Amino acid sequence: MSKAVWIQHAAQLVTMHLPEHVGPRTKGDMSELGLIEDGSVWLEDGVIQAVGTTSELKEIYESRAQEAEIVDATGHLITPGLVDPHTHVAFGGSREREFEMRLEGATYMDIMNSGGGIHATTRMTREASEEELIEQTSKRLDSFLAHGVTTVEGKSGYGLDLETEMKQLRVMKYLQEHHAIDLVPTFMGAHAVPAEYKGKEEEYVKLIIETMLPKVAEEKLAVFNDVFCEVDVFTPEQSKRILEAGKELGLTPKIHADEIKPYGGAELAAEVGAISAEHLLKASDEGIEKMAEAGVIACLLPATALYLREEAARGRVMVDRGVPVAISTDCNPGSSPTTSMPLVMNLACISMRMTPAESLCAATYNAACAIGMEDKVGSIEVGKQADIVLWDVENYQKLQYLFGVNHVQQVWKKGVQVVG
């Protein structure tokens, strides 16, 4: 049982609390941050026990002050721990040479079709031992914490065979149990068609549906089932079969949609009732409208667009049309090798024209909704996990304004200080 923590005198306390609101936020609700000036939070037993102004909490806890570690947050911003709802954090190896190749003119699909891209990481992940993957992934999770991220979704998908997919998921299960961060697992055997199945794509789809998905579900190694619906990867028809098969086994659908070309992925996300659709750089107007109607969360990845030198997804349009928007690093070895959610929040403003308030909502509460964790994380409310970040800025606008800087000063995970 950890010692109580009493944070006092925050210049701004962003609670993300919106009374009587249920589910992911859309339109104007994304700008409702639940701000408290001279804010205070009492953390105890890993849970948020009280939230309010410093004077309000002094009336309740002054007599217990000697029991707590008192943190003076004067001149600082307090927010919920950031949530990253889309990563490929558990993988082996590195692909820095591909960065040069892209600068020399190669496209994402050029690299992938020549044996690089996902296929290259697949080879390195297959070769890595479980212990090696634990060590490499743990270091990335440490970096996430250092950037204020306290909850991360992690996908498999760099195995593309039963043995390695299960190895990735076991690594994530181990780290969920042994690392400070919360790690939410997603099965993504449908990340690419492995080289050994080239020309036999339907056989690989059958392997996913009949062998991989039942095994993952039987061992309870994943919460979600994701698929890369893209030209030269999985067709909308194949993607639908994979996602529906996962649903029958209790795995909630997610979908990599319309990243490279418009391909009906956003529309499919609405059709199958996906919790979120990812990327969406090329999503059609019709797809955006259908996602808004179905309440599918758009998980947007502006750092990936920047890294690939592509135009970012239409975040401003999606917010205005009523799509709930979350944002993510897309941490992966090929198209977004970063763990910096602060950078992603900056880019959401700069490249997708979202406001600072909207980007903060997209990185906390809506991001939590995108992985089904909003009852535990994503806001500072009584009864939720005590996941808190103290930033070395005095207001949330400055957090987005000072570009490319990590302002994290202290981080608490379940009431225990893990950074600072």
Give 102-147 pLDDT, tens digit per residue.
Answer: 889 998 788 878 878 888 999 999 999 999 999 999 999 999 999 9
Amino acid 175: pLDDT: 98
Cα(98)–Cα(117) distance, integer angstroms: 8
Taking residues 16-25, what's their average pLDDT?
94
Task: Look over the chain and give the mean of its residue pLDDT values, rounded to a whole number.
Answer: 97
pLDDT tens readout for residues 364-392: 999 999 999 999 999 999 999 999 999 99
pLDDT band for position 326 (cuts 50, 70, 90): very high
For residues 217 and 250, the answer to whether their CB atoms sit within 8 Å is yes
Amino acid 58: pLDDT: 98
Query: Which residue from 223, 215, 157 is spatially nearest to 186, judged by alpha carbons?
Result: 223
pLDDT band for position 305 (cuts 50, 70, 90): very high
- The β-bridge partners of 78 are 13, 390
Query: Which residue from 311, 276, 313 is spatially nearest to 291, judged by alpha carbons?
Result: 276
Amino acid 115: pLDDT: 79
DSSP string, 72-95: E-TT-EEEEPEEE--------S--
Amino acid 52: pLDDT: 98
pTM: 0.97
Taking residues 44-51, what's their average pLDDT?
98
C-alpha dist (Å) from residue 288 to 41, 121, 409: 38, 32, 38
Percent above pLDDT 70 for the chain: 100
Is the pLDDT at 1 greater than 70? The verdict is no
Amino acid 413: pLDDT: 98
pLDDT tens readout for residues 56-81: 999 999 999 999 999 999 999 999 99
Taking residues 219-223, what's their average pLDDT?
98
Taking residues 50-55, what's their average pLDDT?
98
- According to DSSP, residue 29 is labeled G
Taking residues 30-55, what's their average pLDDT?
98
Query: Which residue from 341, 281, 332, 337 is spatially nearest to 87, judged by alpha carbons?
Result: 332
